[in-house]
Structure 1
Amino acid sequence: MSLASLPPDLQHEAPKEKDYRVPGLQSVQTTTLFRVVYPELFIKPNKPVMAFGLMTITHCVAYIGYLHTQQENKKDIYEAIDSEGSRYTRQKTPKWD
Protein backbone atom coordinates (compact mmCIF):
# COMPACT_ATOMS: atom_id res chain seq x y z
CA MET A 1 0.00 0.00 0.00
CA SER A 2 1.53 3.31 -1.04
CA LEU A 3 1.13 6.73 0.52
CA ALA A 4 -1.00 7.90 -2.40
CA SER A 5 -3.67 5.27 -1.73
CA LEU A 6 -4.07 6.24 1.98
CA PRO A 7 -6.65 8.80 3.03
CA PRO A 8 -5.27 12.33 3.56
CA ASP A 9 -5.59 12.17 7.36
CA LEU A 10 -3.37 9.05 7.49
CA GLN A 11 -0.70 10.34 5.16
CA HIS A 12 2.08 11.55 7.40
CA GLU A 13 5.42 12.77 6.37
CA ALA A 14 8.46 11.73 8.30
CA PRO A 15 9.14 14.35 10.98
CA LYS A 16 11.87 16.72 9.98
CA GLU A 17 14.89 17.43 12.13
CA LYS A 18 13.90 21.08 12.57
CA ASP A 19 10.40 20.16 13.76
CA TYR A 20 11.71 18.66 17.00
CA ARG A 21 11.75 21.00 19.97
CA VAL A 22 15.06 21.44 21.71
CA PRO A 23 14.69 21.65 25.50
CA GLY A 24 15.90 24.75 27.29
CA LEU A 25 16.87 28.05 25.75
CA GLN A 26 18.95 26.59 22.94
CA SER A 27 16.04 26.76 20.51
CA VAL A 28 15.09 30.35 21.39
CA GLN A 29 16.36 33.18 19.22
CA THR A 30 18.67 35.24 21.44
CA THR A 31 21.28 37.91 20.98
CA THR A 32 24.98 37.34 21.41
CA LEU A 33 25.01 39.74 24.35
CA PHE A 34 22.40 37.63 26.17
CA ARG A 35 24.46 34.48 25.55
CA VAL A 36 27.62 36.20 26.84
CA VAL A 37 25.91 37.50 29.98
CA TYR A 38 24.16 34.18 30.78
CA PRO A 39 26.46 31.42 29.47
CA GLU A 40 25.25 28.86 32.01
CA LEU A 41 21.93 28.68 30.18
CA PHE A 42 23.57 27.55 26.94
CA ILE A 43 26.65 25.54 27.94
CA LYS A 44 26.34 21.84 28.62
CA PRO A 45 27.41 20.92 32.22
CA ASN A 46 30.99 19.72 32.48
CA LYS A 47 31.31 17.29 35.40
CA PRO A 48 35.13 17.34 35.78
CA VAL A 49 35.10 21.13 35.95
CA MET A 50 32.25 21.05 38.48
CA ALA A 51 34.13 18.51 40.62
CA PHE A 52 37.30 20.64 40.50
CA GLY A 53 35.32 23.76 41.49
CA LEU A 54 33.59 21.96 44.35
CA MET A 55 36.90 20.67 45.69
CA THR A 56 38.49 24.12 45.39
CA ILE A 57 35.68 25.86 47.24
CA THR A 58 35.69 23.14 49.93
CA HIS A 59 39.43 23.58 50.47
CA CYS A 60 39.10 27.37 50.61
CA VAL A 61 36.37 27.18 53.26
CA ALA A 62 38.38 24.63 55.25
CA TYR A 63 41.48 26.85 55.10
CA ILE A 64 39.52 29.89 56.29
CA GLY A 65 38.15 27.78 59.17
CA TYR A 66 41.67 26.64 60.00
CA LEU A 67 42.94 30.23 60.06
CA HIS A 68 40.02 31.23 62.27
CA THR A 69 40.80 28.52 64.83
CA GLN A 70 44.49 29.43 64.82
CA GLN A 71 43.63 33.07 65.47
CA GLU A 72 41.32 32.06 68.31
CA ASN A 73 44.13 30.02 69.90
CA LYS A 74 46.61 32.90 69.63
CA LYS A 75 44.15 35.41 71.04
CA ASP A 76 44.48 34.02 74.58
CA ILE A 77 48.29 34.00 74.62
CA TYR A 78 50.53 37.05 74.94
CA GLU A 79 54.20 37.74 75.52
CA ALA A 80 55.13 38.91 79.01
CA ILE A 81 58.37 40.21 80.52
CA ASP A 82 59.20 39.32 84.09
CA SER A 83 61.10 41.49 86.59
CA GLU A 84 64.46 40.07 85.47
CA GLY A 85 63.83 41.14 81.84
CA SER A 86 63.32 37.72 80.30
CA ARG A 87 60.44 37.21 77.89
CA TYR A 88 57.95 34.39 78.07
CA THR A 89 54.51 33.62 76.68
CA ARG A 90 51.61 33.59 79.04
CA GLN A 91 47.94 32.80 78.73
CA LYS A 92 45.52 35.60 79.52
CA THR A 93 43.62 35.19 82.75
CA PRO A 94 40.70 37.20 84.02
CA LYS A 95 41.48 39.91 86.57
CA TRP A 96 39.27 38.34 89.23
CA ASP A 97 41.32 35.11 89.36
Structure 2
Amino acid sequence: MEGKKENVPGDGIRSLPTSRLFRITNYELYAKPNLVIMGLGLVALAGCTGYIAYMRHKYEKLGYYSAIKEDGSETFVKRTSKWD
Protein backbone atom coordinates (compact mmCIF):
# COMPACT_ATOMS: atom_id res chain seq x y z
CA MET A 1 0.00 0.00 0.00
CA GLU A 2 2.30 2.69 -1.29
CA GLY A 3 -0.35 5.39 -1.99
CA LYS A 4 -2.12 5.08 1.38
CA LYS A 5 -1.52 7.97 3.80
CA GLU A 6 -1.29 7.43 7.53
CA ASN A 7 -4.35 8.66 9.42
CA VAL A 8 -3.56 11.47 11.85
CA PRO A 9 -5.81 12.16 14.86
CA GLY A 10 -7.97 15.21 14.19
CA ASP A 11 -8.20 14.70 10.43
CA GLY A 12 -11.84 13.61 10.68
CA ILE A 13 -13.50 13.32 7.27
CA ARG A 14 -10.23 14.22 5.50
CA SER A 15 -8.91 10.72 6.24
CA LEU A 16 -11.83 8.98 4.48
CA PRO A 17 -11.64 8.09 0.79
CA THR A 18 -13.99 10.43 -1.10
CA SER A 19 -14.69 11.38 -4.69
CA ARG A 20 -13.35 14.50 -6.38
CA LEU A 21 -16.90 15.88 -6.72
CA PHE A 22 -17.45 15.56 -2.96
CA ARG A 23 -14.19 17.39 -2.27
CA ILE A 24 -15.09 20.21 -4.68
CA THR A 25 -18.62 20.72 -3.34
CA ASN A 26 -17.49 20.53 0.32
CA TYR A 27 -14.31 22.56 0.01
CA GLU A 28 -14.53 24.00 3.54
CA LEU A 29 -14.04 20.51 5.03
CA TYR A 30 -10.62 20.14 3.41
CA ALA A 31 -9.22 23.69 3.42
CA LYS A 32 -6.92 24.81 6.21
CA PRO A 33 -8.26 27.75 8.27
CA ASN A 34 -6.91 31.13 7.16
CA LEU A 35 -6.46 33.26 10.27
CA VAL A 36 -6.11 36.56 8.35
CA ILE A 37 -9.41 36.11 6.50
CA MET A 38 -11.09 34.90 9.69
CA GLY A 39 -9.82 37.97 11.55
CA LEU A 40 -11.08 40.32 8.82
CA GLY A 41 -14.47 38.62 8.89
CA LEU A 42 -14.65 38.96 12.66
CA VAL A 43 -13.78 42.65 12.48
CA ALA A 44 -16.42 43.20 9.77
CA LEU A 45 -19.08 41.32 11.73
CA ALA A 46 -18.24 43.21 14.93
CA GLY A 47 -18.34 46.51 13.01
CA CYS A 48 -21.77 45.78 11.53
CA THR A 49 -23.14 44.68 14.90
CA GLY A 50 -21.71 47.78 16.58
CA TYR A 51 -23.20 50.05 13.92
CA ILE A 52 -26.64 48.49 14.30
CA ALA A 53 -26.43 48.84 18.10
CA TYR A 54 -25.29 52.48 17.72
CA MET A 55 -28.16 53.34 15.37
CA ARG A 56 -30.68 51.62 17.64
CA HIS A 57 -29.38 53.53 20.66
CA LYS A 58 -29.45 56.78 18.69
CA TYR A 59 -33.12 56.39 17.68
CA GLU A 60 -34.15 55.30 21.17
CA LYS A 61 -32.39 58.33 22.64
CA LEU A 62 -34.25 60.63 20.24
CA GLY A 63 -37.56 59.22 21.46
CA TYR A 64 -38.77 57.52 18.29
CA TYR A 65 -40.47 54.16 18.06
CA SER A 66 -41.71 52.13 15.13
CA ALA A 67 -45.47 52.19 14.72
CA ILE A 68 -47.54 50.18 12.28
CA LYS A 69 -50.30 52.08 10.52
CA GLU A 70 -53.71 50.67 9.66
CA ASP A 71 -52.60 49.96 6.08
CA GLY A 72 -49.69 47.81 7.35
CA SER A 73 -46.84 50.23 6.65
CA GLU A 74 -44.25 50.94 9.34
CA THR A 75 -43.25 54.46 10.32
CA PHE A 76 -41.16 56.06 13.05
CA VAL A 77 -43.20 58.23 15.40
CA LYS A 78 -41.89 60.50 18.15
CA ARG A 79 -43.05 59.51 21.61
CA THR A 80 -45.54 61.85 23.18
CA SER A 81 -46.66 62.02 26.77
CA LYS A 82 -50.26 61.71 27.81
CA TRP A 83 -49.65 64.71 30.06
CA ASP A 84 -48.94 67.08 27.16
| TM-score interval, normalised by the smaller of the two chains | 0.5 to 0.7
User: Could you state the TM-score of these two structures normalised by the residue count of structure 2?
Assistant: 0.60
User: Could you state the TM-score of these two structures normalised by the residue count of structure 1?
Assistant: 0.53
Superposed CA RMSD = 2.7
For these two proteins, the number of residue pairs brought into alignment is: 68
SS across alignment from 1:18: coil
CA distance in 2, matches of 1:65, 1:57: 12
Q: Percent identity?
A: 37
Provide Cα deviations, 1:26-74, integer angstroms capped at 9, x if missing partner.
2222234433443221110111111111111000100111111122123
Q: Does 1:30 align with 2:49?
A: no
Q: Which runs of 5+ in 1 are unaligned?
A: 1-15, 77-90
CA distance in 1, matches of 2:5, 2:29: 22
Q: Work out which structure has the larger RCO, using CA pairs closer than 8 Å and 6 or more positions apart in sequence.
A: 2
Q: Which runs of 5+ in 2 are unaligned?
A: 66-77
Query: Rg bigger for which structure?
Result: 1
Q: Give the counterpart letter for 1:27 in structure 2.
A: S
